[in-house]
Chain A
Amino acid sequence: MSVLSNTTALLGKELRTEFRSRELLTTTVVFILIVMVLFSFTFDPTVGESRRFGPGLLWLAFLFASSLMLQPCFLRELNNDTLSALRLSVSDPFAIFLAKLAANTLFLLLTELLLLPIFAILYNIPVLAVFGQLVLVFFLGSLGVATAGTALSAISAQARMRELMLPLLLLPLLTPVLVASTEVTAGLLDRQPFVQWKGVGFLAVFDVVFLTALWIFGEYLLEE
C-alpha cells in the first residue's frame, strides 16, 4: 500500500483516538491558558506592552505546551507494542511519522486557534483583521514544532526520565521557530500590521529541513 494511503489510514486512527477522549486537547488548552494568565502577572499589560511582549509569550506558551503534548505520541505505541504492529503493516515507516506529525500539527493548530480570541481579549490586541495571516504563521510554526517534536518523542520514549527529557531535547532545538514565529506574529499584531515574508520563508525552510531529516532517518528512530 502506498505511503499516502497508509498515512491517511493512520491519521484517521490518530484523530479518532484523540477526539474520542479529547484528553490531549483539553489538557493542552488549559495549560496554555494557565501560562497566559501567569505571564500577565510578570508585566504591566497595557496595550503597548502587550504588543511588545504578547507574541513572544504566546509562542513560548505554545512551545511549552507542545513539549508536554508530544510526549504520549510514541509512548502510547509502546503500550501493547502497537508500534511493532505498525512496523509490520506499513510499507514505509515514514508513513507512521507523517501521520503522527500531521495529527500533532492539527492538534497544535486547533489549540492555538482556540486560544487566540482569549489572548486577544485578555491582552486587548485586535486580531480579526490579520486572522488569515495569523493562521498561516501558526500553521508553519506548528508544523515545525510537530515535526521536530514527533521525531524527538520517538527518541525520548526510549530513555529514562522521558517526561523531562523531551522538553530538554526539544526546546533548544526549536529556538529558530520561536524567533521567526514571534517576529512574524509581532509584525502582524503591530499597530500597522505587515507580513514579514522573510520570517514566513524561514519557517518554511525549517519545516522542509526537518521533514527531510525525518524522511531519511525515520526508520532508524523506530528500530528496536
Chain B
Amino acid sequence: MSPAAVSPTGIRFDDIEKRYGGLYALRRVSLEIAAGECVVLAGRNGSGKTTLLRIAAQLVRPSTGQVTFPGTSRDTAANGASEQRPRATAYVAHATMVYDELTAEENLLLFARLVGVPARRERVDALLADVGLAERRDSLVRTFSRGMRQRIAIARALLREPSVLLLDEPATGLDVQGTAWLAETLRRLRDAGCTMLMSLHGETEISSLASRGVRLDAGSVVADTRRGASFASILKFADAS
C-alpha cells in the first residue's frame, strides 16, 4: 500500500504529437516537469492545453511520442523510460466526472473502492468535511449547484494523496471562498511534494503557487519561464478566448 507521503514523480513529454485527421492538436511538444514542480499551463482556448493534460492522464493516446513518469516505483526499463501511470495520478477536468444519480457519499465511496483507498469510510468522511459538503452527503449530485459539483469533483480526485495532479481550469464554478479553499488545498499538496500541471483562466491565487509557467499556442510550446520568459507574459492572454 502506498505510504502517506507522496513518492516524487515527474512528468516527461517526449515529442508529443496529436492529430485528429488533418488537425493538429499538439505539434512536437517536449516538456520535462521535475518531481514536485508546480507548473501553470497557459494559452488561448484551442491551444492544446486540455489535450496535453488528457495525454498526461493517459486518457488520450498521442499519435506519436510518449509521456513517461520518471521516478515511479516501477523502475526504469532498459530504454531509460518508465511507463505506467503512477499509482496516484489525479485529474480534475471541465466535466465533473461524478454520477448525477448517486449521492455525494455514494460517489466518493464508489471511487474510493475502485482505486483501493484504505479505510475508505473515514477518508470519504474527512474529504466531505474538507470540501464543505458533509451536510449534503446524502443528496443526489444532480441536485447540486455548479460550485458544489466542482467541489465533489475535486474531492473525487483527491481520494488518494496524488503524486501527480493534473488540473484543467479547476476553479470553474467556484465562488470566492471555494477558490480560496482550492488554493489552500493545492498549496498543501504542493508542499507535500505533489507534482502539479494546471491550466488556469487567470486565478492569481492559484497561479501564484506555481514555480514555472509554460505557454501553448496552436499546439506548440511558445514560451517557458524556465527559458527566460516572464510569468506575466505567459499568463497575459489567459483570459482572452
* Chains A and B touch (C-beta atoms under 8 A apart): yes
Residues of A within 8 A of B (CB): 1, 5-6, 9-10, 12-13, 16-17, 20-21, 79-82, 84-90, 223-224
Interface size on B, residues (CB 8 A): 24
For B99, the chain A residues whose CB sits under 8 A away are 13, 17, 80, 82
User: Can you report 23 A-B residue pairs in the complex whose CB atoms are below 8 A from each other?
Assistant: A5-B113, A9-B114, A10-B110, A13-B110, A79-B100, A80-B95, A80-B96, A80-B100, A81-B93, A81-B95, A82-B99, A84-B59, A84-B91, A84-B95, A85-B156, A86-B114, A87-B59, A88-B59, A89-B111, A89-B115, A90-B114, A223-B61, A224-B59
CB pair B59 A17 closer than 8 Å: no
For B195, the chain A residues whose CB sits under 8 A away are none
Complex CA–CA separation, A20 to B102 (angstroms): 9
Q: A80-B100, A81-B97 are in contact. Are A9 and B113 (CB under 8 A)?
A: yes
Q: A81-B95, A84-B93, A85-B97 are in contact. Are A16 and B113 (CB under 8 A)?
A: no
For B89, the chain A residues whose CB sits under 8 A away are 88
Closest-CB distance, A100 to chain B (whole angstroms): 14
Residues of B within 8 A of A (CB): 54, 57, 59-61, 89, 91, 93, 95-102, 106, 110-111, 113-116, 156
**For chain B, what secondary structure do more than half of its interface residues adopt (helix, strand, loop), or is it mixed?**
loop
CB pair A88 B57 closer than 8 Å: yes
CB pair A89 B114 closer than 8 Å: yes
In the complex, residue of chain B having the shortest beta-carbon distance to the beta carbon of A87: B59
In the complex, residue of chain B having the shortest beta-carbon distance to the beta carbon of A222: B59
CB pair B97 A13 closer than 8 Å: no
Given contacts A1-B114, A82-B98, A84-B93, 5 further A-B contacts (CB under 8 A): A12-B110, A79-B100, A80-B100, A84-B97, A88-B91
For B60, the chain A residues whose CB sits under 8 A away are 224
CB pair A13 B102 closer than 8 Å: yes
Closest-CB distance, B193 to chain A (whole angstroms): 21
Q: How many A-B residue pairs have CB under 8 A?
A: 62
For B59, the chain A residues whose CB sits under 8 A away are 84, 87-88, 224
For B54, the chain A residues whose CB sits under 8 A away are 224
CB pair A82 B97 closer than 8 Å: yes
In the complex, residue of chain A having the shortest beta-carbon distance to the beta carbon of B114: A89
Closest-CB distance, B23 to chain A (whole angstroms): 15
Task: List the 10 closest pairs (A to B, CB-CB), nearest first.
Answer: A81-B95, A85-B97, A89-B114, A1-B116, A9-B113, A17-B101, A224-B60, A89-B115, A80-B96, A80-B95
Complex CA–CA separation, A134 to B89 (angstroms): 48
In the complex, residue of chain B having the shortest beta-carbon distance to the beta carbon of A12: B110
CB pair B102 A17 closer than 8 Å: yes
Closest-CB distance, B179 to chain A (whole angstroms): 22
In the complex, residue of chain A having the shortest beta-carbon distance to the beta carbon of B94: A81
In the complex, residue of chain B having the shortest beta-carbon distance to the beta carbon of A9: B113
Closest-CB distance, A4 to chain B (whole angstroms): 12
For A1, the chain B residues whose CB sits under 8 A away are 113-116
Complex CA–CA separation, A122 to B60 (angstroms): 53
Closest-CB distance, B13 to chain A (whole angstroms): 17
Complex CA–CA separation, A223 to B54 (angstroms): 12
Complex CA–CA separation, A79 to B60 (angstroms): 18
Complex CA–CA separation, A82 to B106 (angstroms): 14
Complex CA–CA separation, A79 to B115 (angstroms): 21
In the complex, residue of chain B having the shortest beta-carbon distance to the beta carbon of A20: B101
For A86, the chain B residues whose CB sits under 8 A away are 114
Taking each of A21, A82, A88, which has the highest tally of chain B beta carbons within 10 Å of its own beta carbon?
Answer: A88
In the complex, residue of chain B having the shortest beta-carbon distance to the beta carbon of A77: B99
For A21, the chain B residues whose CB sits under 8 A away are 101
Complex CA–CA separation, A16 to B110 (angstroms): 11
Complex CA–CA separation, A10 to B115 (angstroms): 12
For B100, the chain A residues whose CB sits under 8 A away are 79-80
